[in-house]
Structure 1
Amino acid sequence: MVRKPVIVVHGGAWAIPDDLAESSKIGVKNAAKCGFSILASGGSSMQAVESAVRMLEDNPVFDAGHGAVLNANGDVELDAIIMDGKNLAVGAVSCIKNIANPVMFARTVMEKTPHSMLTGAGANTFAERMNIDKVPTDELVTENATKEWEKYQLYKQSVTSLFNTEKMHDTVGAVAIDSEGNLSCGTSTGGITNKMVGRVGDSPIVGSGAYADNFCGAVSTTGHGESIMKVTLARLVLFNMQRGETPQNAADHALEYMKNRVHGSGGLIVVSKSGEWAARFSTKRMAWASAENNLLTYGLNPGETFQETLDP
């Protein structure tokens, strides 16, 4: 049975400031168009997701890849995951350094090793063996990220004082279904400013930062990582869908549960095995976009939806 291809992307759920609002919308729109062009030409959901997330990683507006932030030691540690709903194959990386496109590396882990996740120095060693290009740290960090980190050092402000608020930059992600009905998801993050060295959030964790299963749907999450991990948010959304809920209701109920149970906020994108999708969040803003048929839909603020016709 031929399915209607759909892709949905997000650029992170947080209190996006007004000076980043327009560039955030443009960024997710372009990523959705990029991924959908692959789907429209018969490409796989895996390739569409990877390409869309890579585009977001290459955009310094977002906290992933080239928009990464600095940890407590003034260094960059990156996390990412990609998952294939056809056979539940997954590749993830955490605490990696000097790699511009962690989602591409995560796919390499999935396809070139018997493992699901590599971390730290061992992961970087494997990246060298696979001839994945290294980039200098300063190429991945924006001037604003450096100033933000310096402010923490100046005032000796602990990350815990802002940790579960909406002031932190966040994650990027994508979910897609292709014409063959295969689902995929991907999530990537550049971390939290001044976080402890070695801290890993939800993004690369199966069932928390992302999950894809052809029998149900695909999800990519964003928000307070510790809260998302405690409720395994991505898998919780799919569990709700398996009980008969629509993607929107499943997402809303999962976010509500996380808020009530562990006082966490965040957002997510989801697409079902039939191509229904939703983009939902409990933070002030989340940049998101979807593409299907000849229609591009996107938003930033709660209850806000815009639509444009896609070029043929």
Structure 2
Amino acid sequence: MPMTDSPLAFGIIGAGIMGERMLAAAAGQPESPVRIAAIWDPSPVALSRIAVAFPDVPQVADAAAVVAASTCVYVASPPASHLGHASAALAAGRSVFCEKPLAIDIGDARAFVAGAGASGAVNFPFASSPGVAMLERWLENGVVGTPRQLTIEVGFAAWPRPWQADAAAWLDGRAEGGFTREVVSHFLFLSQRLLGPLTELQGTVAFPEDGRSERAIDVTLRAGAIPVRLSGRVGGTEQDDHNTWTLAGDAGTVRLRDWAIPERLGADGLFAAAPDAIPNAQARPIALRRQLEGVVRMTRGEPHRLASLAEALEVQETVEAILVL
């Protein structure tokens, strides 16, 4: 794999929400760790939108042309196509940065990870989140003490969320979609990364509408030795997207709220945000920029904090197990 790119030649397959967000994190940024070598999407509408917003980004004829132009390929297409694009990139000697899940068939995902080696990672931005970094410092400094209970709650006014309407065909389908795959997976990754392997899953999942994705989950499991209560609802809030990840211990309680805001429980029984906390709209581009820095290190064979393929597979195993409870 060539290592002479400075910055790294980064190609994007998929010009939807995540493809465009990653593009914005890289294109035109001062001292960007990557340069956008190529982008492709089968939708002319999507590519037209990209051409207006990012006129200097090279658009190519197909996914193979993205692979040919790049040292690392970012796979941001719908889940059913992830494995094909990722496998083609690895076969061509490129590194791969992929959206989750790795595949829609868990057996295919296992086989892919078994043969992929270390030239791949999955985009779980909590790996680079400023808010998560604060949680980690609190844990290291003994703010929680010995962890006793983790509670994860997610809620949505509707599913898909308003900004995902263009992708509703797969985001609200049983095969690829649903909030457990799309959102809960991130919090399972966070739990696994900070507390340990996910085991002892029990609970229920509700599919009240034929052909559509789940509308509620209520499960218990463990992250390492820590009991976890996980719940999710569509229609349980007026907010488009509300979530909390709350870890209680014998010395204190901390949480991450609405993707980005680290908070500590005070003696008054109220949560207070860390002094430097910022909302997700500001935190997301910071995390994605750090993810790109991790992509460069991963491609060079250097240590990084990105979610490994093996970690992503473990999360996917838990997600798919929830969906058949």
Q: TM-score, normalised by structure 1?
A: 0.29
**The structure with more radius of gyration:** 2
Task: Tell which has more relative contact order, 1 or 2 (C-alpha 8 A, sep 6+).
Answer: 1
Q: TM-score, normalised by structure 2?
A: 0.28
